[in-house]
Amino acid sequence: MTHEPVRLAMVGGGGGAFIGAIHRAACVLDGRFRLVAGAFSSDPAHSRQFAGEIGLDPQRGYASASEMFAAEAARPDGARAVAVTTPNHLHREQIVAAADAGFAIFAEKPLTVTMADARSIAEAVASKAVPFVLAHAYAGYPMVAQAKQLVQSGILGEIRRVDAAYLQGWLTDPIEREGQKQAAWRTDPAKSGGGASGDIATHAHHMMEHVSGLQVARVSARLATLVAGRLNDDDVSLLAEMSNGAAATLTVSQVAVGRANGLTLNVYGDKAGLEWRQEEPDTLWLRPHNAPEQRWIAGADKAYLDADVRSLCRTPSGHPMGFIEAFGNLYRAFADQIDGHASGIYAPGIDEGMRGMAFLDAISLSSAQQGQWTKIE
């Protein structure tokens, strides 16, 4: 059986965009996708030029998503899937158009800027029944899958406490005023819909729910802007309660000077606890009560890992796997969805996107009301 790669298009990701390059590397790791087209820039010449630079037919560098969907859908060798890697405020229009054109969709997070837009997206994706993956890439790490499996196995017992943090320091200075592109749109409320909250708190929120198997039910939050003059929040602290009554906390900052990308998750049960740290992703700590701590490590050769977890490992243990491989595991799940075979590989979808939007609404509301405890519907 020949395994023809899925032909993929990209919206955004031109020029120096960090995340576009990640998508391009991640999608080809398993030979399951081939990038064939892109709406890389609203300037037609730029888009064509960039297409050529990355080895595509320059004619398939388009100036808009809608133009691309129409043109590619009309080609026998046209793209049938799309990666949406634009700033948040553009997601709704592009995703809805992609769904209408029948494309399978891999979209950047958060889903979009407003709950109303999110509902439009959800309706479009549901009505067209297209595959949809949301890029909460940290869920693609093998040891995150193992963490979830350990919770499900019951080895932690009843969960009592969930603590997450996501600490970055790159916005310590107001670099958005110096023309740093990554910073500029993320700190512009119109484009991002939220600063640290939308950009990274949603990742942490997703991890809390994904690994624990619980929902964040209520929050008491404080969104802060710690750099004077910044337009968006850059720092978020919150207390929460999980759906089973467990206590929870989440601490998020993009001005935690000296921190790179410190996403960490601790889940404490009444029998054992676990800890995962994104910057050391191949390691998972399991700490049973009154017993030595256990350090589990990732690797295709590690028989003590769950079989599904091993299948997410591209290397034997001790050969580090990184962010791009985690991302690639979401693309593998995406390919499986497109191919229509149930793979057992988890990927976040519309439901997770809607949960994230509800979370953003709730923390904004709580923060505006002096931390009043607020339900996430």
Residues within window 296-335 making contact with its own copies, judged by CB under 8 A: 296-297, 299-304, 314-325
- Omega of the bond prior to 110 within 30 degrees of 0, cis? yes
**How far apart (Å, rounded) are the C-alpha atoms in residues 348 and 136?**
7
**How far apart (Å, rounded) are the C-alpha atoms in residues 104 and 109?**
16
The one segment of 82-90, 207-215, 265-273, 329-337 that binds its own copies by CB under 8 A: 265-273
Token pair 């990640």 in the structure block, residue? 22
Nearer to its own copies, 161 or 191 (CB): 161
For 61, which DSSP code?
B
Number of residues that bind its own copies (CB under 8 A): 97
The one segment of 16-24, 95-103, 120-128, 355-363 that binds its own copies by CB under 8 A: 16-24
For its own copies, the binding residue among 42, 127, 244, 294 (CB under 8 A) is: 294
For its own copies, the binding residue among 42, 43, 45, 53 (CB under 8 A) is: 53
Nearer to its own copies, 134 or 240 (CB): 240
**How far apart (Å, rounded) are the C-alpha atoms in residues 180 and 182?**
6
Residue type, 156: L
Query: Does the footprint of its own copies cover residue 281 (CB under 8 A)?
Result: yes
Query: Does the footprint of its own copies cover residue 15 (CB under 8 A)?
Result: no
What angle in degrees, to the nearest 10, is found between the helix axes of 142-153 and 202-212? 40
Nearer to its own copies, 10 or 113 (CB): 10
In the region spanning residues 97 to 136, those forming contacts with its own copies, defined by CB under 8 A, are none
Give the residue among 200, 242, 198 at the shortest CA–CA distance from 219.
242
User: Which ranges constitute the DSSP H helices of 195-262?
Assistant: 196, 202-212
In the region spanning residues 175 to 234, those forming contacts with its own copies, defined by CB under 8 A, are 220, 222, 224, 226-227
**How far apart (Å, rounded) are the C-alpha atoms in residues 337 and 28?**
16
Give the residue among 267, 86, 231, 251 at the shortest CA–CA distance from 168.
251
Q: 207 near 359, Cβ under 8 Å? A: no
For its own copies, the binding residue among 202, 232, 251, 329 (CB under 8 A) is: 251
For its own copies, the binding residue among 86, 112, 237, 364 (CB under 8 A) is: 237
For its own copies, the binding residue among 24, 89, 91, 210 (CB under 8 A) is: 24
**How far apart (Å, rounded) are the C-alpha atoms in residues 275 and 273?**
7
For its own copies, the binding residue among 187, 202, 232, 253 (CB under 8 A) is: 253
Query: For the window 54-73, what string marks contact with its own copies as x by the rule CB under 8 A?
Result: xx--x---------------
Where residue 325 falls (left for φ over 0; alpha for ψ -120 to 50; beta otherwise) is alpha
* Least separation in angstroms between CB 152 and its own copies: 18
For its own copies, the binding residue among 66, 114, 120, 172 (CB under 8 A) is: 172
* Least separation in angstroms between CB 250 and its own copies: 10
What lies within 8 Å, CB to CB, of 360 at 6+ separation is: 110, 193, 194, 197, 198, 201, 202
* Least separation in angstroms between CB 232 and its own copies: 15
For its own copies, the binding residue among 15, 169, 189, 213 (CB under 8 A) is: 169
For its own copies, the binding residue among 258, 307, 340, 341 (CB under 8 A) is: 258
**How far apart (Å, rounded) are the C-alpha atoms in residues 71 and 79?**
9
Token pair 């009301």 in the structure block, residue? 369
In the region spanning residues 334 to 373, those forming contacts with its own copies, defined by CB under 8 A, are 370-373
Query: Does the footprint of its own copies cover residue 260 (CB under 8 A)?
Result: yes
Q: How many CB atoms lie within 10 A of CB 112?
A: 26
